[in-house]
Amino acid sequence: MKGNFPAVQKIATLKVLLPVPANGLAIPAAVDLDPITFLNDSALDLLQEQGDKFIPVPFQTGQESRRTLRWLVPASAGAAVSYQLVKKGSSGPGPAPDSIRATTGEGTLTIRNGDQHLLQYVFKTVYPPAGIGGCTWYFQDGSLVCQWSKNGRQQ
């Protein structure tokens, strides 16, 4: 495999042909996984080919009568879009640099997109400032805090 993921273990190439323009809409796509692989869906990555680059694609799997891989073909895609289904962890793509992550620490859950903070959920009890004792209405727990601006600065 060429581009930014040179050493992945390719399982299958999937091609989506769009017979008519998408008119700005993302088009749902699906494929039956059972004839392709018996690997658990958590061991798979789906990559869209864009020239000599491979872009990670979010996907879901369904467990109806057969395992189904589902994803969205972007509105910007051309008439034919090629994807690589690869084994995760085969010295290929790790997490995307702009992936959404959640971390916990000191009674908070912080959600980030790459290095940009998006949202913080405070699950610890917050006590009133010194000198405001006895105010039972002040105690908080389980509050959402959006304390970062769009440029990532803490407000």
In tens, the pLDDT along 125-154 reads 777 777 766 555 555 666 666 666 666 565
In the chain, what's the furthest Cα-to-Cα distance?
Answer: 70
Cβ atoms of 45 and 96 within 8 Å: the answer is no
Please give the single-letter amino acid code of residue 28: P
Residue 141: how many CA atoms within 13 Å on its side-chain side? 6
> Which tens digit of pLDDT belongs to each residue from 62-105?
877 888 999 998 877 777 889 999 998 654 444 455 577 888 88
Q: What mean pLDDT is predicted for residues 108-126?
A: 79
SS3 123: coil
Question: Which residues are registered as beta bridge partners of 102?
Answer: 111
Q: What is the pLDDT of residue 121?
A: 82
Tell me the C-alpha distance between 47 and 50, whole Å: 9
Cα 137 to Cα 53, 58, 74, 128, 140: the distances in Å are 55, 43, 49, 9, 8
Q: With 0.85 as the threshold, say if the pTM is over it.
A: no
The rounded distance, in Å, linking the Cα atoms of 67 and 118 is 33
